[in-house]
Structure 1
């Protein structure tokens, strides 16, 4: 296996043009692979090293690669990676540092934050937000309290995180939309976990 093959495997079949050129392919080689249908373009400068319809997992990797340094999956796209949410057709959500820009693409929704680096999970690949931040993002954009509660409950039931870890993450998100409502939901979840009376009291 070549080094480029290994990179492609790690990235679920997605590679960037610079990766291809740095690991043995010439621009002519790359053009011929695409022309012959052995490779295919996924996004500008991003290719799949296989034929056929690319699976969602490959497209998520491609979106991260396209978005460049410091980019990571977030919101529902990160939830799909962790198993918190099932994969559904739609745009891929990407978080980048506040001081960066990404050329818009209809397949992607780009979010920016000065705290992007601290929200990245240190182990999961492709790069993605920590489970706790993913849950908080989804809960903050929920259509109602019941949907927000479902995100929290699902994440904890599947043992992806705990109410305490979510509450701790919330302390680092002072500007989160619907923060007080989420804090109340988490307080209730923590009380139930500890076997305490429901919070807030009736």
Structure 2
């Protein structure tokens, strides 16, 4: 890993000695113990710090360069300060595996349960009973994709936020529902186990977001609507589109607004135009339609399905169902 900085090292008859190699492996970061083990005295460390050739990252951990530390250097410094067997985890691991798009403070580090780590400024330390089953071979050490997703679901503020991590990880093709199912099963203690296990199954069926999951669970299933096809791929005049939910025999498409994957504002219009050209009607629901008015939304879908030949009728989801009629 290139640090983008100039490491400081000693030169002998055999060329650069081990502290340069060590520092470069650790993005230009070295611990006091590593430096001393390589023959750098305490006086030499102080001199390098005093002259600005090195910088103090944390107590006993140094950047072996001048200038602003890179993100990899900051992560290495936090990891080395946390000590042996520490791994980057939660949002920080998510950053490294591409589950989130930008760094989110603080840095998250996980250590074995029996270890007590002194508070580290800007670092949140998690103590865990079990070492992650699939730690990455890439440096700096971090939890694997599945363990990271499970960790994030357990730190989520509510079940919807937890389910969102599952949908995002699978939507970005970082893992699969089967792998996540095994990871959840391996955790002895798990909040929202039933809901998360069901969410994994629904993601496997094609739901790509919390809103799609909500539609399936709150609109389609409880009101007895026919099962729609999720994420059907369409190719029309060189344009590839995916419909969120399609009731193909009845020429009806349901699109769900609010998904993070819609980065192009013209994406929804393109899908609607392609549907119109193919003679399909498009209903577009937002979060409020699905979360606050699921019965009303189900009624709208049912009306169009029946007009197109659906031989059945929607059912009431419960005694307080707001389904008309």
Query: Under a length normalisation based on structure 1, what TM-score does the superposition of the two structures give?
Result: 0.88
| 1:50 maps to 2:65 | yes
Q: Contact between 2:59 and 2:81, CA under 8 Å: does it hold in 1?
A: yes
Q: Secondary structure at the match of 1:41?
A: strand
* Alpha-carbon distance in structure 2 between the residues aligned to 1:119 and 1:65: 21
Q: How far off is 1:94 after superposition?
A: 0.9
| 1:86 maps to 2:96 | no
Equivalent residues in 2 for 1:76-115 (5 A)?
76-115=91-130
Which structure features the higher share of strand residues?
2
Q: Among 27, 30, 36, which residue is 1:12 paired with?
A: 27
Aligned residues: 197
Q: Among 55, 75, 89, which residue is 1:40 paired with?
A: 55
Tell me the alpha carbon deviations over residues 66-99 of structure 1, each in whole angstroms, 9 at most, x when there is no partner: 1111111110011111121133352211111111
**Structure 2 residue runs without a partner (length 5+):** 1-15, 208-215, 223-325
Matched residue, 1:128: 142
Structure 1, 171-180 or 76-85: larger mean CA deviation? 171-180
Equivalent residues in 2 for 1:142-181 (5 A)?
142-181=156-195
Q: How far off is 1:146 after superposition?
A: 4.0
| 1:59 maps to 2:71 | no
Q: Secondary structure at the match of 2:180?
A: helix
* Alpha-carbon distance in structure 2 between the residues aligned to 1:57 and 1:182: 33
**Structure 1 residue runs without a partner (length 5+):** none
Which structure features the higher share of helix residues?
1
Q: How far off is 1:192 after superposition?
A: 2.4
Q: Secondary structure at the match of 2:102?
A: coil
* Alpha-carbon distance in structure 2 between the residues aligned to 1:28 and 1:16: 15
Q: Among 28, 46, 64, which residue is 1:31 paired with?
A: 46
Q: Contact between 1:140 and 1:179, CA under 8 Å: does it hold in 2?
A: no
Q: Contact between 2:53 and 2:66, CA under 8 Å: does it hold in 1?
A: yes
